[in-house]
Amino acid sequence: MKMTIYKYNTIENMFNKKRTILYFGFFILFILWVITIKRRDAAQYQALKEILDQTQLKLKIKSSNYNALKVKFESICDKWNPTDPIIYAITPTYKRPVQKAELTRLSNTFRLINNFHWIIVEDAETKSTLVADLLLKSHLNYTHLSIATPVEWKRKLKEPKWKKPRGVKQRNLALEWLRERRNRKNYNGIVYFADDDNTYSVDLFNEIRLVKGVGVWPVGLVGGLLVEKPLIDINNKVIGWNSAWRPERPFPVDMAGFAINIKLLLSYPKVLFSWSVSRGYQESAILSQVITKEKLEPLADNCTKVYVWHTRTEEPILKAEEKLRNQGLRSDMNIEV
Ligand code: UGA
Ligand code: MN
């Protein structure tokens, strides 16, 4: 028993000694620290403070960026269902007085759609801030690209609209983008060519999502008719169209009247739009490379509903604006229209 108490005391003494040394060490360090603080000159202190302030500011910016991104992604996630296919809407667009109005109308509709990815391709050498800002604020999942139509294919002033095909280069760039980035065998998605001036019902996208190969449906206000639509037989097969304009086309359908499953499209790596096809044959040219009429999937209640309209926005008359410009003035001086 005694032995153990003795042993215990020696151990305790040892600890006490060590503790004293430790305290002493800390004290010395503290003194040194106070001395160095006192020695710091004002300039050094100022520099350190500035660095601290800058870091704080950077953190603030980073956190506000983070919050903006968070809001954006939350809104996208809201519209995201992992089991549904993604709809890729490819939209060529070009600068004109009504461009922002058209794209605003479209983006407001697309915001209501689940699993939606907007590939917007400007007919321009470079991407514009007008489109970039609109997309940034849209809360949409998007890809912004640009490619200019070669001058020889660009519509000349006073030349009728129908003379040259539109959106060829732009749609092809979007297809290349898809081929490079979505080339997986089990990829679940559908490609739709959504021109920037049409009117789309949210119901259309529920139909597009069903497309396994190529889906077709009626389009309102196109080809000189109130509605241009596929004709269906009793077995729900497409046997033709009611088209009045060039009904001899292999697929007498407007770009807004079909969508293609991405697997089918990607299984033909060379399918693109082309300048060399006759007027009004863009749709036929692309469709005949990937499908036959018999295999088309009639949608929109067996083609009895109109969910998309080939609307055309009237070109605004800007006579007064022209007068202003002649005087070196303009009504949109500090305001984006
Ligand atoms: C019809 C079809 O609906 C189009 O899909 C098809 O591309 C066109 O005919 C054609 O034959 O090329 P339409 O209303 O006459 O369409 O054409 P636009 O709406 O003027 O143009 C189609 C798309 O190309 C639009 O998204 C438009 O913004 C874009 N576009 C038009 C350009 O990117 N650059 C231009 O110079 C003109
Ligand atoms: Mn149009």
Q: Give this prediction's pTM.
A: 0.82
Residue 283 annotated as catalytic? yes
Last-in-domain residue among 17, 47, 78 = 78
**60 shares its domain with 106:** no
- pLDDT score of 12: 61
Last-in-domain residue among 45, 78, 111 = 78
Range of the domain at 1: 1-78
Domain assignment present for 122: yes
**51 shares its domain with 195:** no
How many whole angstroms separate alpha carbon 258 and alpha carbon 237?
15
> How many structural domains is the chain composed of?
2
Kindly report the protein residue whose alpha carbon is nearest to atom 4 of ligand 1. 255
How many whole angstroms separate alpha carbon 276 and alpha carbon 269?
19
**90 shares its domain with 56:** no
Q: Which ligand is nearest to the CA of 199?
A: 2
How many whole angstroms separate alpha carbon 131 and alpha carbon 121?
10
Q: In this structure, what token pair is assigned to residue 238?
A: 């497409």
- Please tell me the distance between residue 3's alpha carbon and the centre of ligand 2 in angstroms: 103
Ligand 1 cavity residues, CB under 6 Å: 91-94, 123, 149, 155, 161, 165-167, 170, 195-197, 254-256, 280, 282, 310, 312
- Please tell me the distance between residue 213's alpha carbon and the centre of ligand 2 in angstroms: 25
Domain assignment present for 40: yes
Does the pLDDT value for residue 9 go beyond 60?
no
What is the atom index within ligand 1 of the atom nearest the CA of 222?
A: 3
Domain assignment present for 124: yes
Q: What is the rounded average pLDDT of the residues 224-234? A: 97
Confidence of residue 6 (pLDDT cuts 50, 70, 90): very low
Q: What is the rounded average pLDDT of the residues 74-93? A: 92
Last-in-domain residue among 34, 53, 78 = 78
Say how many Å lie between the first and final Cα of the chain, rounded: 97
**58 shares its domain with 162:** no
Domain assignment present for 187: yes
Query: Among 102, 122, 228, 283, which one carries the catalytic annotation?
Result: 283
Domain assignment present for 308: no
Q: Which ligand is nearest to the CA of 254?
A: 1
Range list of H helices, the chain: 2-39, 42-78, 99-110, 129-137, 168-181, 202-208, 262-266, 282-290, 300-303, 319-326
Domain assignment present for 315: no
**46 shares its domain with 24:** yes
Does the pLDDT value for residue 16 go beyond 90?
no
Q: What is the rounded average pLDDT of the residues 116-144? A: 97
**142 shares its domain with 283:** yes
